[in-house]
Amino acid sequence: MCGIVGYTGPNPALSRVIEGLRRLEYRGYDSAGVALATKPGEKLVVEKKAGKLVNLESALNSEYTNAHGGIGHTRWATHGGPTDVNAHPHLDATGKLAVIHNGIIENYVELKSELERRGHNFKSETDTESVAHLLGEEFKSSGDLASAMRSVCLRLRGSFTLLAIHSDNPNLIVGARRNSPLVVGVGEGENFLASDVSAFIAHTKKALELGQDQVVQVTPEKVVVTDLHGKEVTPNQYEITWDAQAAERGGFQHFMLKEIYEQPKAVADTLLGRFPNSDSIELTELEKFSVDYNRILILACGTAYHAGLIGKYAIEEWARIPVDVELASEFRYRNPVLSSKTLVITISQSGETMDTLMALRHAKSLGAKTLSICNTIGSC
Ligand code: GLU
């Protein structure tokens, strides 16, 4: 789940955007970037880095601090690896328009080849870059970023929260959403856009919730919401009653309760973009595991061990392969019987649970094929 922040107002946009991204860090990400309108009518300044926010921050300099409009993103890669180039924002052909995106553009392959035929050069492997080029084309013909966003959204399939900024109008941020979240924080002479309210709660408690297939134009003084055909709509406005910490917990008393209630959404988000049609699922990462296994062994500790117990029910139900679940801390000290037809699955949220890592190495040294499920890219 990536994080999105947009800011327009009298304060330095960079500090507001970075602060918002930091508040959204709990959502998880693999890279981060910002685009800032430092000089009206000239190219935007863009910085993006793989890894943690500190990598991005250490690449920033004083050039970035004099913008009053900007957008920032923490990415959770779906199309293209977690690299500097694939990190958001992505630019149009002029370098004056930047886009950030949460979600998946399902028809990006068609859009990309159409754009390439018209001479656009792509720098990244992402689905998002097609949106930047399309918006650039639409903006060129209308000169209106919100109407360009509406036209482009009508062409997109999939799920998205999009934010765009153009240096010709550096105080305007335009957002859009379908199936992914976007909220507007309404401040005093300044406004915010974000994936959730925790990004701006330190500055305003007034929020507007965007509906499905709506586009929002935000300047320091004004917020205008329309549908995709340009008809103005009245968004749902509400007062946030949580403090910053409760906002990160989505109003729940503690994180565990939040995560329990989030399970259906977490499963849906994980499977996003993997249904080419209604009766099949694409798990391309698993293709290299297409050996005919006759046994699966799940190794984990703590909560991950309990997740493994549920996994056993699911795998036996759907794959009809017998599954054993064992505590990694016990397994690592045993001399287990493993064959080339045994698949060992290790589960660790952090990818750093020492007993599970040692159990994984032990299984590998015994010649088993291994597969790890974790939430931290680059671990294990
Ligand atoms: N699909 C986009 C990408 O891979 C956005 C991913 C996200 O939601 O962070 O760059």
CATH number at residue 368: 3.40.50.10490
What is the position in ligand 1's atom list of the atom closest to the CA of 88?
10
Contact between 198 and 244 under an 8 Å Cβ cutoff? The reply is: yes
What is the position in ligand 1's atom list of the atom closest to the CA of 75?
9
CA gap 204, 373 in Å, rounded: 39
Query: 259 CA distance to ligand 1 centroid (A)?
Result: 22
Q: At which residue do the structure tokens 């990190």 appear? A: 87
- The CATH number linked to 35 is 3.60.20.10
Query: 283 CA distance to ligand 1 centroid (A)?
Result: 17
What is the position in ligand 1's atom list of the atom closest to the CA of 73?
9
Q: At which residue do the structure tokens 């293209």 appear? A: 80
Within 10 A of 361 (CB to CB), how many other CB atoms are there?
Answer: 13
Query: 77 CA distance to ligand 1 centroid (A)?
Result: 5
Helix axes 108-117, 128-142, angle to 10 degrees: 50
**27 lies in the same domain as 109:** yes
**181 lies in the same domain as 82:** yes
* Residue of 74, 102, 106 with the most ligand 1 atoms within 8 Å of its CB, for mutation: 102
Q: Which of 223, 246, 269 is the last residue of a domain?
A: 246
What is the position in ligand 1's atom list of the atom closest to the CA of 104?
1
Q: Residue 170 falls within a domain, yes or no? A: yes
Q: Which of 246, 275, 296 is the last residue of a domain?
A: 246
Query: 246 CA distance to ligand 1 centroid (A)?
Result: 26
Q: What is the pLDDT of residue 376?
A: 62
List the domain range (segments joined by +) for residue 143: 3-246
**51 lies in the same domain as 177:** yes
**88 lies in the same domain as 216:** yes
Q: What is the pLDDT of residue 247?
A: 72
Q: Residue 275 falls within a domain, yes or no? A: no
* Residue of 88, 107, 156 with the most ligand 1 atoms within 8 Å of its CB, for mutation: 88
For 195-225, write each residue's pLDDT tens digit. Answer: 989 899 999 999 998 999 999 999 999 999 9
Strand 369-374 versus strand 223-227 pairing type:
unpaired
CA gap 70, 14 in Å, rounded: 7
- Model's pTM, two decimal places? 0.76
Contact between 32 and 300 under an 8 Å Cβ cutoff? The reply is: no
For 301-320, write each residue's pLDDT tens digit. Answer: 999 999 999 999 999 998 89
Q: Residue 278 falls within a domain, yes or no? A: no
**241 lies in the same domain as 288:** no
CB-defined site of ligand 1, < 6 Å = 2, 75-80, 101-104, 126-128
Within 10 A of 341 (CB to CB), how many other CB atoms are there?
Answer: 13
For ligand 1, atom 8: residue with the closest CA: 102
Query: 377 CA distance to ligand 1 centroid (A)?
Result: 15
**31 lies in the same domain as 128:** yes
Residue 378: pLDDT band with limits 50, 70, 90: low
What is the position in ligand 1's atom list of the atom closest to the CA of 103?
8
**207 lies in the same domain as 293:** no
Q: Residue 168 falls within a domain, yes or no? A: yes
Contact between 43 and 167 under an 8 Å Cβ cutoff? The reply is: yes
Contact between 65 and 75 under an 8 Å Cβ cutoff? The reply is: no
**13 lies in the same domain as 142:** yes
Structure tokens at 209: 């919730």
**171 lies in the same domain as 37:** yes
Q: Residue 271 falls within a domain, yes or no? A: no
Contact between 164 and 99 under an 8 Å Cβ cutoff? The reply is: yes
**305 lies in the same domain as 164:** no
Q: Which of 246, 274, 292 is the last residue of a domain?
A: 246
Q: Could you say which DSSP state residue 24 is in? A: T
Contact between 104 and 273 under an 8 Å Cβ cutoff? The reply is: yes
- Total domains in the chain come to 2
What is the position in ligand 1's atom list of the atom closest to the CA of 1?
8
Q: Residue 59 falls within a domain, yes or no? A: yes
Q: Is the dihedral of CA 18, 23, 24, 30 positive or negative?
A: positive
Contact between 282 and 275 under an 8 Å Cβ cutoff? The reply is: yes
Q: What is the pLDDT of residue 251?
A: 77
Mean pLDDT of 28-34: 93
Query: 112 CA distance to ligand 1 centroid (A)?
Result: 16
Least-confidence region, from 14-18, 157-161, 349-353, 369-373: 349-353
Q: In the predicted model, what is the mean pLDDT of the chain?
A: 92
**159 lies in the same domain as 64:** yes
Q: Residue 272 falls within a domain, yes or no? A: no
Q: Residue 328 falls within a domain, yes or no? A: yes
Query: 249 CA distance to ligand 1 centroid (A)?
Result: 23
**166 lies in the same domain as 213:** yes
Q: Residue 305 belongs to what H/E stretch? A: helix 302-319
Q: What is the pLDDT of residue 283?
A: 81
